[in-house]
Structures are given as structure tokens and as C-alpha cells.
Structure 1
């Protein structure tokens, strides 16, 4: 799934105007998270999803009005239990939507999203601050700021400084908020670059990897088919521990996108081939498999026989980790996490080098 901010910048580069729908509040079991965004184009085609047909149909209908006059709309959308049942949904829920007009002619808006793209590609955490003007007005680029831990992008504005101070005071714990201050109404959207690390296998090396990644802003999820290994006693600080019935159909249990990192360390490497084949069907940013060169060649040959290509296998980091002659589980974990950091950072640094050469 392409990052929504990359999509926004692509459309702005193409000089397309569109409506951006943002879920900024939800209740009950709505499937999409707060901050989820969807682009609605002039022809009412959409990019992304905000959690189902009713919500998306409402957003598309309202977008016609936004296209017409440029004014933002805030709308509460509800899906009652009765309607959910008719739609074969699990249960009801409601969301609050912000629909705003994004115009490529607004240079400040374009600049703001370029800064967002830069921070996303660099892997930085940041917060988007949007001042909500009075009803019937448009949200312009001058109404938006991007705040990282060390930088602030946007128009100079004394009134927004108190909002920025509040954000900086609790930067790591900031949540999406719609706040009403004397200075005005503001939507606060943290973009904490949710890099997701899936550790498939819950052995000793996995434990040590999780201990390191907890301090590096990786959302870490551990998966195994053994409850005695995949449990909270052994993995206290990860976001999630999943026990699966088997390593078949892994894509039912993981939501892999291009900001996902996969570390394959199943017990005795018995299921590494099976898992690797499934992960190669995703657009994960990193896929690493532990094991010797001999084991790697055996797995690769099996996958080639199954129809995978040499190009597919070039995506795999195996043997896994940076070469530091690691031996202990702790050392192996350090080498693997170092490689995750290298992959995370190198694409941004390479892009910067290319841009510098062009300039």
C-alpha cells in the first residue's frame, strides 16, 4: 500500500486538485484508525480507504460540495448496529471526518506536503498542526505547520506557538486531538512513522531483537505457533504477540506494507522457506532470513523451483544482519537491528545524493 503522503505529493506534482478526507475521531469497532486518510479526486475516484462503503460514500457525496466552494466540512458519520448487521459488518460505530480542499495553486500547501514527504522518507517523527478557520472557509497552506522534535515548518505565527509548546512538551506521547483554545481551533495529527517490525519466530534471538527495537521507534510484533514461546512473559515490551495455528497463510495475520520490516527466525529454520515465500508476495521494505549460506542456497533453490525469480530473491537479506562476526544471541540481534537501520536510512540518503548531483 503506497504511503498516502507520497500519493498527495504525486497529485500535487501533476497539478491535480483533490479533497482529502481524514478520520480524526472514531468510536467502537470502526476498522480504520484515527488519522487514516483518503484522497477523493475530481472524478470521485478514491485513493486509500477510511473504513468501508458507508463512510466512503458519505465522504464522496460531501466532496462534491467541497470541490464546489473550497470550504472544509467536518461531519460525523454513524453506522448503527442495525445498519451494520444489514451490511454484514461485525458491529456499529461512528467516525468524525474532516474534508478539506487541496489546491496545487496554493504554494504554501505544496511546500507543507513536501516537508511532510521529506520527514517521512527520513524516518523522523513529526506532527501536522492544522488551524481550523470559521465555518464556510477554506483551509489554506498558511493554516498548516509541521513540527518535528527539532524543526518547525510553516508561516510565522505567534498564536500557534502555544500549541507547538504543548506538542513539544509531550512529543512522544502526543495523540490525535481536536482542541479549542483562545487562539482558535486546531487539529493535531502525530505522524510517528509507524515502522512495523514483524519477528516471525519467538526464540532467544527474537527476544534480544525486541529488546533493542523498543528504543528505536519500531512497532514490534512477534509471531509464533507456540504459546510457550510467544507470550507476554517473554516479550514484555513489544506492541503485540501473536500465536498463530501454523505458519501457513501468514498474510492473514500480518498487514505488510512498504514501511514493514520482516525478520524470519523460525525454530530450527524449519519454516523459514514457507514464510519467506509468502513475504516475497508483499512490498515489505526489508525481508531478512537467518541462517548459513548453505541453508540460504537450499531455500532459494526450492523457491526457484516453485516459480519465484532471481529478482524476487535479490530482495532478501540472507545471511541476515551486518557482518560483525556475531556469535551470541545478543550480538546477532545487534547485527540484525543495525541492518534494519541501514535499510531505513540508505534510501533517503541515496535520494539526497542524487538530488545534490542534479543541483
Structure 2
């Protein structure tokens, strides 16, 4: 079962929105939700091989099938392209007039970024810069700031670094990222502020906390734990299982993303999580119960770029976006397992 949050726009005119990373985990869910609420969506993704591109094509197929059932398939257009190519981005924007940009395309993952820092900075910083530049390009054609699109940027809880004070608040210092991934996302937030200050671009950065659910990336912790339990492989229990994460189901994240598109601000940074951290040991136990198999847990030290605990203070998102996460961990894992059985195991 898919949980979608549809925002009532009061019968207003349909918008044209760009979603980058549209074939990915969060992007594919965002596309479906935006189209379901009446928007026209242009999806952009380079279908890279960070994980099997066939998974991304399958995500797109799932979205198209759902939209076809609802008679709204024509409202979604997918284009394969790379945000790092400045000319491609400029040509893309010259042929479309977007009311909003949901920028989800990125190189993700803390640990891999340590091995490939140049790639992460190229995609996450230069790619974001290309989009920001193109977004304000219409100022030159129209000369009016009120025509600028709303820019919603996917950031991460990783920007908080090894902050010990919980929960994480948007006002906390974020000047000591532990990995290039976090640094590149913080750079995106700062570039967004510059473009807001100079050009008046409405920019909202959303800091996601440990997202999981259907269509999840195979490298993400929730997916790896489930996969390893099912296939009888070792499950690393970092810090003796006393590693806490603010596990947030994907539909709750999408609710926050869509609400941010619908409610543009001047410049905002908002946390999107549940505000209820759960230990890795307990999370593994919940998956064991869903799958009906015991995990082969092995003790493992904390990875050097990871933190012991994350927890979001979501009070600002609740106030400004009406953000209210709905899916507790047990229900979320059950939904994830149901999707995994159908789409990965083919049951």
C-alpha cells in the first residue's frame, strides 16, 4: 500500500514543476504525489550507475503505471539529462517555464563520499549552482523578481556533524561536517542563500533524516538490513546497536517536500524527520519480526564519518509547513517489506 499526502490547492491553476532526481527513491514518490494533486511535472535524471539503473527505470515504471490508472499519465514528462552539464541545464530551462523546482538529484551517502569527494562536489555543488543560475535566468528576460520559481532543495541531517545536543535544531552550528557529502549539501544551502539575497529567489532547504520505505536505495541502511536478514547475511551492529536514527518514512518526507513547494518563503531551512529516534538494535528487531527470520548480527565499530545519534526538532516544519509525520517505524517497515516482496523478490 502506498501512502500519499495530497495537498488541496483550492482548485487553483495547474503549475509546471521540475523535479530533479525524478527516477530516484524520494524523487519518484514526489513526482507521483505532485501529479496526483494536479501539477504538471517534468522529471530530470541522468540514470547514473551509483546503483543499478534498472532499479531507477523500474521506479519510473511504477510511477507511470500509477498515473495511468488515475488517467494523469500525460501530466508527467521524463527527460534524461545531467545537471552537471551547464549547457544542457540552460537549454532545458529555455524550453520550459517552471513555477517551482524540487531539486532532489544528488550523489548521496556519507561513506562513499569519502572515497569520491570530487564527484560529490561536482554533482552536489556545481550541479546545484547550474540549476540556481538557470532558475534566476528569467530575470534577464522578464526583469521581475515575482516571476521567479520556488526552489526546494534536498539537504541532509548530516550537515549537523557530530553534534551532541539533541534534538537537532535548524539554528545549531553546522560548520564542521564529517564527510564531503555533508559539506557539499551545506554548500548547496549557502549557495541558495546567496541566490536569494542577490536575486530574490525563494529558497527552502529541507534537511532529511534517515529516510526509508518503498523504492529505497540498495545502499541505504534500512534496505541493507532487510536484504541481509532475508538472505542470511551478516548484519553489522554498529556501536553494539546503540546507534540511534530518526527513521522517517518516505511518504512523510514527500509530504514535507510538497508542502514546501506549495508554501514558498524567502529563505528557510527546515528539518524533516519524526523526532523519535530508534536504536539500530530495535530497528533490526522490527525487521526480524516482519520478515520472520533472525538476523545474523555481528558487532562492528562506528564508521568514522557517522554519528551516534540523530533526532530532528520538527517544530518549525510543523509551524510553517503543517508537517505532521504519520507513519511510525513498525508500520513503515511493514510497508517497506510488502514492497520488497513484490518488487524485489517478485512474490
Q: Which has the higher strand share?
A: 1
Larger relative contact order (Cα-Cα within 8 Å, sequence gap ≥ 6): 2
Report the TM range for the smaller structure's normalisation. Answer: under 0.3
Highest CA radius of gyration, 1 or 2? 1
TM-score (norm 2): 0.25
Q: Which has the higher helix share?
A: 2
